[in-house]
Amino acid sequence: MKQILKFLSYFIGGLTIGVLIVIICVAFFTDIPLAELYDKLSGIGILSIIISCIGSIAALFIAIFAQILLHESGHLIMGLLAKFKFVSFRVANLTLLKENGKYKIKKFFIAGTGGQCLLSPPSETPSQSAVSWYLAGGSLINIVTAIICFILWLKVDMPFFFNLLTMYMWVIGLLFALLNGLPLRIGGITNDGYNIVLMRKDASCKQELMSQLYINAANQQGIRPRDMPDEWFAYQNITDYKNIFLVTSQLTYASRLIDKKEYEAAYTILNEMHNHANEIIKLLNHEIDCELLFLELHYRKDNTRANNLYTDELKKYVEQAAKTMSSKQRILCSMAYYVDNNHDTAIDIYNKVLSNKQNYLMLGEVEYDLDLMKEVVEQESFASNQ
């Protein structure tokens, strides 16, 4: 029933948006009076209206998907022109990546994103302008296709469906270009335009971005954080916790410390970031609390603090992200072992990740998580042999 209601809400929402867009476009770009439009719609049969509505919703979803695909393609094209190397290309939860010289498709999802194009920087640090073009590439492609589709919609006679599709393409393309190109913080997350501004204000932000791209590329190739070059990681004395680059860098640094089993140092860093939760975006807060939760359970053996951290909101985030992220399976494994005292469930989670490890996108991360989960589930058998 819940899924049916969810579908109906999407259907009604899409229908409403479609009707509003049609009315706005007719009002601004044609000579048809709204009264005449109403008379025409009134004379159409109910079946024709339903078919038209379904076609309108289908065209809207196709346009959204196409503009996401074009946006990420823009990043890819501009990045390759700047001599970046292909790592992965994601639209929704479908990710194309190159693994051992072969292209593969895997499922992966990051909350708050419709797609993502990850490239690895060239060996020589790219210029400020090259990185800016890479970030701006998505919005540029959106606005170019929006202009082309607007001209086609305005000048070319087409069947109803394709007329709607070109209309949605230029409206959605323009919307994406503005939302990503204009410097904005949406839900605390900085968009491409804002990231360009940040890099121009603070040169260290560019270096942090390059380091994250190097780390992501190595991670997808199966390299664990502890085995990556030291220069990709650096402790930050953060003074601005609203700076997403600095907080992400610090979180990555703490994760590497966990991989190296330097738990106390990692705990100190994560706890300090947790104390600034009101300044940090929700997505990163969730990631910080997940790692802090693991250390409370596995290192400090403080189930009370762990339960306080594991709010309903964090639990929901972990359960959703666990579908594609091994790090969240590690949290579920630890909760089962330490909190629920259900060792069989913890072992089952570990074995499931172990048997499916090649299906994960971040192969380095999954090796790191398996090592930590093994440390959790083998405690009992280790203790019994002492």
Cα separation, 67 vs 382, whole angstroms: 54
Q: What is the pLDDT of residue 359?
A: 84
Q: What is the pLDDT of residue 229?
A: 93
Average pLDDT over residues 164-190: 88
Q: What is the pLDDT of residue 45?
A: 53
pLDDT band at 159 (very low <50, low <70, confident <90, very high): confident
128-157: per-residue pLDDT in tens? 888 899 999 999 999 999 999 999 998 898
Average pLDDT over residues 201-228: 88
Q: What is the pLDDT of residue 1?
A: 35
pLDDT band at 15 (very low <50, low <70, confident <90, very high): low
Question: Which residue, among 120, 61, 121, has the nearest Cα to 92 in the 3D structure?
Answer: 61
> 197-206, 207-216, 241-250: which has the minimum mean pLDDT?
197-206
SS (H, E, C) 277-341: HHHCCHHHHHHHHHHHHHHHHHCCCCHHHHHHHCCHHHHHHHHHHCCCCHHHHHHHHHHHHHHCC
Q: What is the pLDDT of residue 110?
A: 64
Partners of 97 in beta bridges: 88, 104
Max intra-chain CA distance, the chain: 87
pLDDT > 90 in the chain, percent: 48
Measured CA to CA in angstroms, residue 282 lies from 18, 197, 269, 276, 277 at distances of 31, 22, 18, 12, 8
**Contact call for residues 140 and 73 (beta carbons, < 8 A):** no
**Contact call for residues 247 and 280 (beta carbons, < 8 A):** yes
pLDDT > 70 in the chain, percent: 82
Q: Which amino acid is at 232?
A: W
Computed over every residue of the chain, the mean pLDDT equals: 84
Burial class (CB in 10 A: 0-12, 13-18, 19+), 295: buried
**Contact call for residues 187 and 112 (beta carbons, < 8 A):** yes
> 11-20, 156-165, 231-240: which has the minimum mean pLDDT?
11-20
User: Does position 318 have pLDDT exceeding 70, yes or no?
Assistant: yes
User: Does position 22 have pLDDT exceeding 90, yes or no?
Assistant: no
User: Does position 44 have pLDDT exceeding 70, yes or no?
Assistant: no
User: Does position 308 have pLDDT exceeding 90, yes or no?
Assistant: yes
Sign of the alpha-carbon torsion through 364, 274, 298, 349: negative
Burial class (CB in 10 A: 0-12, 13-18, 19+), 279: middle
